[in-house]
């Protein structure tokens, strides 16, 4: 069956209308000129998005589908979209989105190493491992009592493959059910341990925000590594509770957030 694809540029519109014809089967969809440029010139069927704080990774997909993904096929359908590597609602940064055939490549991107910029809050422990959760423990941690050399030594000793407990609020399944679902039901959850890989982890700054002490850290990690687990482990090694305050993903393999578009600009 012959399949043809062509663009029709409407001189009176900032939109491009594409038609995909396979025999008697015809579909049309609308994408903005800017989105088409991103998809066709820079990355083949891949869209790099700088996810904002406060929404889920699937919210990004939902917004893109709502704006660009309606097909005219007798009834409304949605353009096939998917993402590689979930970012928590609290997190910002690079989210790789597959468009059409690009969705088939998402599995390979999941295997790539990732770079994160992390703010670790000392003196607080939550049930989620970040500030979205319920506070379980609070201690006063004076910045003057936090020795930079000791922190660097702790971080250096964590480089490599390390076995850590996964966050209770995660998609890891136990008895066939995601942990977060069991936790939300109020069940007692014993999170399993998992091997995680820390390729590089560096302390950039120790600073004070009001009465809180923050570790500003950058890390390169392997696939399947939970930054929230690392943050809590750093706290344990320092003898204080700890949780993720801010998290930003800046790289996935060779893809850099510098080349990503803000969701509002797509």
Distances (CA, A) of 89 to 27, 52, 53, 85: 34, 8, 6, 13
Judged by DSSP in three states, 40 sits in: helix
């422990």: which residue's tokens? 125
Q: Which of 88, 147, 211, 256 is catalytic?
A: 88
Under 8 Å between Cβ of 260 and 94: yes
Nearest to 191 by CA among 174, 175, 214: 174
Q: Is 88 labeled as catalytic in the residue annotation?
A: yes
Rounded Cα–Cα distance for residues 25 and 55 (Å): 37
Q: What are the structure tokens assigned to 109, written together? A: 């991107």
Catalytic sites, residue numbers: 88
């Amino acid at each position: 069956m012959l399949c043809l694809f062509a663009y029709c540029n409407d001189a009176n519109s900032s939109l491009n209308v594409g038609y995909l014809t396979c025999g008697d089967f015809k579909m049309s969809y609308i994408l903005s000129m800017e989105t088409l440029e991103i998809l066709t010139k820079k990355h083949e069927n891949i869209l790099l998005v700088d996810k904002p704080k406060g929404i889920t990774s699937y919210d990004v997909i939902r917004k893109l589908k709502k704006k660009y993904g309606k097909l005219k096929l007798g009834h409304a359908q949605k353009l096939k979209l998917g993402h590689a590597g979930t970012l928590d609602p609290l997190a910002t940064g690079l989210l790789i989105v597959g468009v059409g055939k690009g969705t088939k490549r998402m599995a390979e991107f999941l295997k790539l190493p990732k770079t994160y910029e992390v703010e670790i809050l000392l003196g607080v422990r939550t049930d989620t491992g970040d500030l979205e959760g319920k506070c379980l423990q609070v201690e006063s941690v004076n910045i003057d009592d936090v020795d930079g050399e000791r922190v660097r030594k702790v971080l250096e000793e964590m480089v490599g493959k390390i076995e850590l407990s996964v966050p209770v609020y995660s998609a890891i399944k136990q008895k066939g059910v995601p942990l977060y679902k069991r936790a939300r039901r109020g069940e007692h959850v014993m999170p399993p341990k998992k091997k995680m890989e820390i390729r590089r982890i560096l302390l950039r700054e120790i600073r004070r925000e009001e009465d809180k002490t923050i570790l500003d850290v950058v890390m390169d990690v392997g696939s399947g590594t939970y930054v929230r687990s690392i943050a809590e482990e750093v706290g344990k090694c320092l003898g204080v509770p700890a949780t993720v305050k801010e998290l930003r993903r800046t790289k996935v393999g060779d893809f850099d957030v510098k080349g990503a578009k803000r969701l509002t600009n797509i």
